Structure 1
Amino acid sequence: MISNFSATPVATLILALTVGLSALVFSKPEWYGRLMLHPYSIYRDKSRIFTLLTSGFIHKDWMHLLFNMVTFYFFGFALEGLFVQFSGPIGHVLFAGLYVASLVLSDIPTIFQHKNNTGYYSLGASGAICAVLFSFILFEPKSQIGVFFVIPMPAYLFALLFLGYCIWASKNARDRINHDAHLYGAITGLTLTLLMYPWALRQFVDSF
């Protein structure tokens, strides 16, 4: 495991920062107000734009954190390894760029959608993790994904079902989950990956 961390320093740093900052706000709840995404405030006070980033490193509770970090562990470390395999050492930088850009871009639609909603807040790394997951699926579409860590399913089928659910849930669900961030995170991950590795689309098609 130690060698895995040393080979993927960016994923390791992201994991450590996310766990550390989440644990901090669990023990100091007053920090939520400073770090969470609040579209109403951002739309009126551009100095709050930094919360597009900070909100992605904190979580609601330990279960929220655990689910996201387990997913990130299985796919984030593997994806950074693939980027390095394709691009050499600069692959670490490309992976960092993908994660940070997806963290920010996945929440921008939420800002416009809830700019007049004083009671809407959002937090969590789900947008960026969806980007990582879908980027990985682009390279490994037939790999097996454990839905809820139990039910085996080909990655490409999971991607289709997930996107369909996100589109439905963003319009119909009332579960206080930011499904738009999941959807736009997935789209951002696919788009950025294809900009970096245009050949990945042909490889994806040829794998079927």
Structure 2
Amino acid sequence: MAFSNAQLIDRLILWPPAITRAKEYWRLATCGLIHADPQHLIFNMITLYFFGRLVEPFLATRIGAIGYALFYVVGLVVSSLPSYLNHRNDPAYRSLGASGAVSAVLFAFIVLQPWATIYVFVLPIPAVIYAVLYLAYTFYMDRRASDRINHSAHLWGAVYGMLFPVLIEPAVLPRFFQLLVHPTFQRFG
């Protein structure tokens, strides 16, 4: 609906001054309901679908049936907060998309299955190698701030996605390190 409704976008988008001045805190999450274009939405939803298939049951067995939905919504908020704090008085700043929460799902998957083979376009790559490259690129691009992509949301979503499984199931961390030192490459998909 928002692709053709500028008023809806304006009401949902992460616009920090609206949060600072009018206390419109919902924008920290609703920005994930709107996307720049259909390709942006499709890419996020495909990523969410494939990597969420492992993360959702992991969370459901530990925090209940709505655990995955809560994880996702909190991921939106956590990944939006740094952008809000950095731009709270910048009337020109706006951000939209679910990429921060999708990064959280992807990185929760990587913590659970670090050696799974994922495909970046057509290139097969171990998930943990992808994670290192992705984080380095995201950190670099966030510091550079040369495009219109909210790399900060990607970065903080990824951090949240790595930490949350460990917080709800501390055994995940030693298992992750055990898997790192004993690689078992497996195709995922």
Q: How does 1:127-146 map to 2 (within 5 A)?
A: 127-146=100-119
Aligned with residue 100 of structure 1, among 62, 65, 73: 73
Alpha-carbon distance between aligned partners in 2 of 1:91 and 1:179, rounded to the nearest angstrom: 31
Question: Are the equivalent residues in 2 in contact too, given 1:138–1:204 (CA < 8 A)?
Answer: yes
Question: Could you say which residue in structure 2 is the equivalent of 1:157?
Answer: 129
Aligned-residue offset at 1:27: 2.7
Instruction: Look up the match of 1:166.
Output: 138
- Equivalent residue, structure 2, for 1:80: 56
CA displacement at 1:145 relative to structure 2: 1.1
Q: % of aligned pairs identical?
A: 44
RMSD of aligned C-alpha atoms? 1.3
Is 2:183 the partner of 1:206? no
What is the deviation of 1:43?
A: 1.5
Q: Partners in 1 of 2:17 and 2:131 — Cα distance?
A: 32
* Partner of residue 185, structure 1: 157
Q: Deviations for 1:112-133, whole angstroms, at most 9, x for unmatched residues?
A: 1111211110010000000000
What is the count of residue pairs matched by the alignment?
A: 180
For structure 2, which runs of at least 5 residues remain unmatched after alignment? 182-189
Question: Which TM-score applies when normalising by structure 2?
Answer: 0.90
Deviation, structure 1 residue 193: 1.3
Tell me the residue number matched to 1:110: 83
- Is contact 1:163–1:183 with CA below 8 Å preserved after alignment? yes
Provide the rounded CA distance (Å) in 2 between the counterparts of 1:75 and 1:96. 14
Asked if the contact 1:80–1:91 (Cα under 8 Å) also holds between the matched residues in 2, the reply is: no
Q: Greater share of helix residues, 1 or 2?
A: 1
Distance 1:83 1:39 in 2: 31
1:27 aligns with 2:18: no
- Maintained 8 Å contact 1:109/1:180: yes
| AA aligned opposite 2:27 | T
Deviation, structure 1 residue 107: 0.6
Q: For 1:50 and 1:132, how far apart are their aligned partners in 2?
A: 21
Gaps of 5+ in 1: 1-23
Letter in 2 for 1:122: S
